[in-house]
Amino acid sequence: MAAEGQSPERAAGPAPAAPRPAGEDQFRALADAAPVMIWRADLSGGCDYVNQPWLDFTGRALEQELGQGWVEAVHPEDLERCRRIFDAAFESRREFTVDFRLRRHDGAWRWLLGKGRPFQAEGRFAGFLGSCIDYTEAKQALEDHRRALEEREELLSELHHRVKNNTQATTSFLSLQASRASDPAVAAALRGAAMRVMLATLVQDRMFRVPPDGGVDLGAELATTANTALEVAGRPGIDFTLTLEDRLTLPVAQATPIALIVNELVVNAARHAFPGGRPGHIRLALRRPGPGLGEVVVEDDGIGLAETLPRNTPQGCLGLHLMPRLARQAHATLKLDGRDGVTAVLRFACR
């Protein structure tokens, strides 16, 4: 399997015949029985043998394939690339892999995946031995899959863009309505809804940017979520402590509802736990309580929760009623203790 434009050393004239490996007849018999196409190149870089499956594939005689004859059936668009790869491997005497199109006996162009490695005879470099397999269907399937993924990404990107625009419009509408509301309780509820929509959109936007085959660094995501929620809430006098005891990586489908829960807990604490502008403290911790488990703890030293909370008032904290649903989406359990401040413990399975 060699090339035009070879190095001067190989192009100067016929190379001395390489010593044949012991048991040549046995080698050829085994190679002819192999379920793959096998070739061998001597010191000149030309083929001195191809097996019967190769001849069956091309429909040509052995004499036509020897030396540089085999290149006649290589697709013109692939020939120079194949030559460069083989020449470089021959000069450095290292293994190589190459894919190229070879014309089959019926005239069809088929994709072959070829591998070659140097071999020795009597302790000296004697050439290359390699194999090829027809992987046309597999290559086409991979190409179809790649195109499908590209189309999916384009569709998701467009959908994400439209959803983001719609949520921004919703946030603006809620804020406008809040500014026009005459009832302070209604205005507060509308502002809270606008804040919730905006913060949830930010979480979703970050999750969308995670590669399809990647995971979410939960600690980093929760830190961003909590700090953003506190910044948007605009409540001075609140100290925030973050403790990341372990690093956890979760799939997007699980990390998203967990981040939304933390967002709700931090926002609710900032808005309701410290009335009258009193100072306070919010702590967020991430840890592994045991093998295969992750745990997120959000706690504050505020006024705690009432025994019963009406849903549709600012004091009712609608988010507290939504969090159990988000926990189910994350396949997690959520426990809330509001007797002395609020402590929320979210536990979930993880690797």
| Residue at which a domain ends, from 188, 213, 238 | 213
- Establish if 275 belongs to a structural domain: yes
- Establish if 1 belongs to a structural domain: no
Res 308 pLDDT > 70 = no
Same domain, 219 and 156: no
Q: Is the Cβ–Cβ distance between 130 and 1 less than 8 Å?
A: yes
pLDDT at residue number 56: 97
Residue indicated by tokens 């009258």: 276
Region 260-285: mean pLDDT is: 90
Residue 188's pLDDT band (boundaries 50, 70, 90)?
Answer: confident
Region 86-115: mean pLDDT is: 96
Q: Is the Cβ–Cβ distance between 227 and 203 less than 8 Å?
A: no
CA distance 139 to 158: 29
CA distance 111 to 114: 10
Structure tokens at 162: 């439209």
Same domain, 223 and 343: yes
CA distance 45 to 86: 9
Of the listed ranges 37-51, 84-98, 228-242, the least confidently predicted one is: 228-242
What's the pTM?
0.54
CA distance 125 to 18: 9
| Residue at which a domain ends, from 104, 134, 164 | 134
Instruction: Report which DSSP code applies to 107.
Output: S
Same domain, 153 and 192: yes
> Which structural domain range is residue 70 located in?
8-134
- Establish if 116 belongs to a structural domain: yes
Structural domains in the chain (count): 3
Q: Which helix (H) or strand (E) holds 33?
A: helix 24-33
Q: How many Cβ atoms are within 10 Å of 21's Cβ, its own excluded?
A: 16
pLDDT at residue number 212: 67
Residues above pLDDT 70, as percent of the chain = 85
- Establish if 108 belongs to a structural domain: yes
Give me the CATH number covering residue 289: 3.30.565.10
pLDDT at residue number 60: 95
Same domain, 222 and 313: yes
| Residue at which a domain ends, from 134, 152, 170 | 134
* 253 alpha carbon, distance to own chain's centre: 14
CA distance 130 to 40: 6
Same domain, 173 and 292: no
- Establish if 329 belongs to a structural domain: yes
Give me the CATH number covering residue 70: 3.30.450.20
- In what order do the strands lie in the sheet containing 96-103? 47-50, 37-41, 124-134, 109-121, 96-103
- Establish if 38 belongs to a structural domain: yes
Q: What is the mean pLDDT of the chain?
A: 84
- Establish if 243 belongs to a structural domain: yes
Q: Please choose, from the candidates 77, 82, 89, the residue with its C-alpha nearest in 3D space to the C-alpha of residue 10.
A: 89
Same domain, 175 and 258: no
Read off the pLDDT of residues 91-103 as tens digits, 9 standing for 90 and up: 999 999 999 999 9
Using CA atoms of 338, 264, 212, 333 in order, give the dihedral in degrees to the nearest 10: 20
Q: Please choose, from the candidates 259, 273, 199, the residue with its C-alpha nearest in 3D space to the C-alpha of residue 229.
A: 199
Region 283-305: mean pLDDT is: 93
pLDDT at residue number 165: 67
Which residue blocks in 129-251 are alpha helix, DSSP H? 136-180, 184-208, 218-233
93, HSE (Cβ side, Cα atoms, 13 Å):
9
Res 35 pLDDT > 90 = yes
